[in-house]
Every structure is written in structure tokens, then in C-alpha cells.
Amino acid sequence: MNFTRALTLLCALVVTPFAMAANNSIDNSEQLKQKLASTLSVEVQSLNVSQIPGLYEAITDRGVLYISQDGSKLFHGNLYDLDNGMKNLTEAALAGPRVEMIKQFEPNMLVYKAKDEKHVVTVFTDITCGYCRKLHNQMGEYNDLGITVRYLAFPRQGVPSKNANDMAAIWCSADPLKAMTDAKGGKLVDTAKNCDANISQQYNLGQTLGVNGTPAIVLEDGTMIPGYQPPEQLLQALERVQ
């Protein structure tokens, strides 16, 4: 068992109800944010009391971190509520911020809109990912079920990379939706296309929201499902969160 998993399991055993507090109730909030920033080179978007007494929950541009009140101890992992069906508290903490942060990127999305739209999902995708291609090949089935699919770029090779350049060319294409379909069908990307596609910002957003692989599907309530979901299974997940 690695160190992160050991810490996660330890914290899961001690989860108890604890009132959430606002950021401004933490006396040493700014000092803790500065320590995280200087030590780990992360940007802290919010700092709140976690559901474990003695720990604060920091939402950063690299996901959720937990830090002790005195700033001397830190760990990264998922917390689960044993008394509430093993609810993933870390995932729940990110759901609301995901919705708000994703809104800012709506102008950058490639949108495959359902004619009779009932649900909207945001998918972090990569043109070289096999399961991303499988999802895309079934786009008609998702749309027929009333699911609109919005793409953001998450080049798995990072930024900068050839992968990122190819995805930028797709976003800059005269017909980005067709260019995406062509690329996921194995056709070469015309890299002559160039514009400000904000691929690096999309990639950074994915990291902030906890994406570590593709496809990563964000539901309407901010819940994220890692990995490919068949059309009917995705519809069931969307209906459960309504």
C-alpha cells in the first residue's frame, strides 16, 4: 500500500460529522495559503474547515489537499464517509467549484448538441485516447438520448507537446467539430491552422478539477466520472443526480 492510500484509509476511519466553516473563520488562512503556494507551487482557490476535526480542506489548481491547522502536516487523497454509503467527501468538495470554473470555459468548448436536449455533460478529451475515440464514435447515440456533449482539451502528453499542438489545430479549424471527428477517426491533423485556442488553459483547468486521465466526464452537478461511459449508462448516471 502506498503512502497516499495509507493516509486516505486512515482518514476514512476517523471521519465524523463536523460543521463546515467559511474561509474567513480560519485565523491563519493567509499564512496557510502562502505556505502551500511557496512549498508546493500551487494556487489555493479556497480554504475551508474539513469534515475531520483539525484539518483544513484546500481547493487548489492541482486538486484538493488537506493541511493541519498549524500548517505542519499535509496529505493528498480521498476522504470517505463510512456512515453515508462511503460518500466521497473529496469529490463532493470539488463538485460545486467544478461547475463554476467550467462556466468560464464555455466559449472554448466544442459542442455536439442534442436536438432534444435533456442533459449536458462536459468531457475532457484527447484525440489519441482509445476510449475517447469510442465515446466520440457513439456521439449520435448520446445525442439521441438527449445528451449534449461539450469537449474541453486535455492532451495527455501535457503542454507543450505535439499532442497539444494537434488539438490546438482542431480548435482553430474552420469546422472544429468535423476536424475532431476526422482526428478521432485516425486522419492526420492539419497543423497549419493557428489561433489562440487556450489549450494550455483547458489542460490546466482539467488538472485543477482532478482530471488524471481521459475521457473524464463532468455531470451537470459537478460530479466527475473518470473513464468511458456507454450512452445508456451515462443517461442513468445523469438521471440519478437530478
**Residues recognised as catalytic:** 126, 129, 132, 156
| Residues contacting 100, CB < 8 A, separation 6+ | none
| 151 bridge partner residues | 110, 123
Q: How far apart are alpha carbons 233 and 42 in whole angstroms?
A: 35
Whole-angstrom Cα Rg for the chain: 19
Q: For residue 193, what is its C-alpha cell?
A: 491552422
Residue 194: C-alpha distances to residues 6, 171, 172 (Å): 46, 9, 6
3-state SS assignment for residue 177: helix
Q: For residue 190, what is its C-alpha cell?
A: 492539419
φ, ψ of residue 175 in degrees (nearest 5): -130, 80
